[in-house]
Chains A and B, each alone.
Chain A
Amino acid sequence: MFPTEILLEALLNGLMTGAIYALIALGLTLVYGVLHIINFAHGALLTCAMFLVWGGFALVGLDPYVALLPVVPLMFALGYGVQRWVIGPASHGEDNNILLVTLGLSIILENALLAVFRSDTRTLQTDYAFDVVPVGPLLLSTPRLIGAAATLVVTGLLWLLLNRTDTGRAIRAVAHEKLGAQLVGIDVRHIYAVTFGIGTACLGVVACLLMPIFYVNPRSGGVFVLVAFTIVVLGGMGSVPGALLGGLLIGVVESYSALYFGDSLGQLGIFVIFILVLLFRPSGLFGARA
């Protein structure tokens, strides 16, 4: 058995990593819930955002947290444009096509990044990367703590957007009743693109939070998105609270399985849970029954 402090620290570390996972899953589940598509390009778009943050730091010394200001709107614009002028027109309204278009997009993006940046792994050196905050007997990583706090703020903002603004109401309306939405004058293609843009803007936030503590190479987004897919299924496809709680849960599971089975097997626990959910509760913890 491990002493209580270590167990507690593993719990908090898991929650902090889970918060980042949750934010990635949030974008994925929002796009699924509204556009009813599984966005295979989510990982590649996260990698793009991470390279943006890295590039800003390497070229002009832009601090990754300050980079939130340009990166988030840029990623929103990228997501909006990709959905409005690439995925939308290329898929002709067929869900199968959309699946293939997003898959193709991810292949193109990853290989473009590979061509430009090679497969080297890059990091950026900040002087606060290894800072810790003492909490009682525990030491918590400052960048991870910032990441978790930022995730909660972003989730809160997203909730306000979806429930308190006309654009948010339009997003929810389109998700469940497309014809009704068109007939009140909602421009469905615009709302689809806005939703996709919000999903990629979340990735922009994630990239800024991750870069102080993580590395980037042309495949690093995929590592996270695989876990995010698990969270989306666990939480219930399309469920925003499901993504948040699922993310935290998966973070904790990963942290404890790393503690008990060793770092390299940390993700084992995640996929055991994934399979159990698929077997016993295929609609997810918060999902509507099909």
Chain B
Amino acid sequence: MLEITGLRAGYGGTEVLRGIDMQVAAGEVVAVLGANGVGKTTLNKVISGVVPARAGEVRFDGRRIDRAPAASIVAAGLVHVPEGRKIFPQMSVRENLELGSYRRARTRRSSNIERVFTIFPRLRERTRQAAGTLSGGEQQMLAIGRGLMAEPRLLILDEPSLGLSPLLVEEMFILVRRLSAEGLTVMLVEQNVVQSLEIAHRAYIIENGAVALYGTAAELLAGPEVKRAYLGL
């Protein structure tokens, strides 16, 4: 579904992505792991058309999207829930959700809002509240809910567990598993290695702007490299 080959990108004189190759197949949960600053967020921004690629290709359903405007990438069904949530703080919860279907699935807006409220009952209680006044966990729910409003075919979640309490982190991973069980393809970008590998089918580990290691989640969990470098075993 998503194929990335030789992708390079950066800001000014700094190259952040130094030739990334990866794939996400339909129905998979693919984890993209790595420490802070290795280029995970830049990778997401390039895929969603916010930061331009300098070289390489990104294909979604076989169609090249590395030169496409962000709006058309959303229209194709590739939806990115960004790090730091980036919800609209001064607008109500409902308006945030409504804007989730700005470019896609607009005709099914009200039924999709109901669906998001079923997944996140907390949001239903806060429909008219300004999004900026929600707690961190609620804001993350809203960000994911806003992403779901577009009926994504591939959902990129960038650090959904960042800044959440351990209990909420657990809930977040249960949610990703549930969305995946309902048939959604997910690219999960995380620093939380163990929990991500527990729910992912496959994973890529990024170091210094390139894929250092990849394989099925089970292989990586069992392999010595991950244990040594990320789990401290």
> Chain A interface (Cβ within 8 Å of chain B)?
166, 169-170, 172-173, 176-177, 179-187
5 chain-A/chain-B pairs, Cβ below 8 angstroms: A173-B91, A176-B90, A182-B70, A183-B70, A186-B103
Residues of chain A with a CB closer than 8 A to B70's CB: 182-183, 185, 187
Decide if B86 touches A177 in the complex (CB within 8 Å): yes
Decide if A170 touches B87 in the complex (CB within 8 Å): no
Decide if A180 touches B91 in the complex (CB within 8 Å): no
Partner of A184, one of B49, B85, B99: B99
Partner of A183, one of B69, B75, B86, B90: B86
CA distance A289 to B75 in the complex (A): 37
For the complex formed, measure the closest distance between the CB of B159 and the CB atoms of chain A, giving whole angstroms: 14
Decide if B74 touches A187 in the complex (CB within 8 Å): no
CA distance A179 to B91 in the complex (A): 15
Decide if A184 touches B95 in the complex (CB within 8 Å): no
CA distance A184 to B77 in the complex (A): 11
For the complex formed, measure the closest distance between the CB of B202 and the CB atoms of chain A, giving whole angstroms: 24
Partner of A185, one of B85, B90, B104: B104
Residues of chain B with a CB closer than 8 A to A182's CB: 48-50, 70-71
The answer, yes or no, to whether B214 is at the interface (CB within 8 Å) is no
Known: A173-B88, A173-B99, A186-B102. A179 touches B69 (CB 8 A): no
The answer, yes or no, to whether B21 is at the interface (CB within 8 Å) is no
The answer, yes or no, to whether B146 is at the interface (CB within 8 Å) is yes
Closest to A180 in B: B86
Decide if B87 touches A177 in the complex (CB within 8 Å): yes
- CB within 8 Å of A: which B89-108 residues: 89-91, 95, 98-100, 102-104, 106
Decide if B150 touches A179 in the complex (CB within 8 Å): no
The answer, yes or no, to whether B80 is at the interface (CB within 8 Å) is yes
Residues of chain B with a CB closer than 8 A to A177's CB: 86-89
Partner of A186, one of B73, B89, B99, B106: B99
For the complex formed, measure the closest distance between the CB of B110 and the CB atoms of chain A, giving whole angstroms: 14
Residues of chain B with a CB closer than 8 A to A180's CB: 82, 85-88
CA distance A180 to B79 in the complex (A): 11
Interface centre among A177, A180, A185, A186, by most B CB within 10 Å?
A185
Decide if A185 touches B150 in the complex (CB within 8 Å): yes
Residues of chain A with a CB closer than 8 A to B73's CB: 185
Decide if B103 touches A185 in the complex (CB within 8 Å): yes
CA distance A229 to B89 in the complex (A): 27
For the complex formed, measure the closest distance between the CB of A182 and the CB atoms of chain B, giving whole angstroms: 5
Partner of A166, one of B80, B88, B98, B146: B98
Residues of chain A with a CB closer than 8 A to B106's CB: 166
Closest to B101 in A: A184
Known: A166-B98, A169-B98. A183 touches B87 (CB 8 A): no
Residues of chain B with a CB closer than 8 A to A172's CB: 88, 90-91
CA distance A42 to B99 in the complex (A): 30
For the complex formed, measure the closest distance between the CB of A287 and the CB atoms of chain B, giving whole angstroms: 13
Known: A179-B50, A179-B82, A179-B86. A184 touches B103 (CB 8 A): yes
Closest to A183 in B: B80
Decide if A166 touches B102 in the complex (CB within 8 Å): yes
For the complex formed, measure the closest distance between the CB of B80 and the CB atoms of chain A, giving whole angstroms: 5
For the complex formed, measure the closest distance between the CB of A142 and the CB atoms of chain B, giving whole angstroms: 40
CA distance A166 to B150 in the complex (A): 14
Decide if A185 touches B75 in the complex (CB within 8 Å): yes
Partner of B74, one of A170, A173, A183: A183
Residues of chain A with a CB closer than 8 A to B71's CB: 182, 185-187
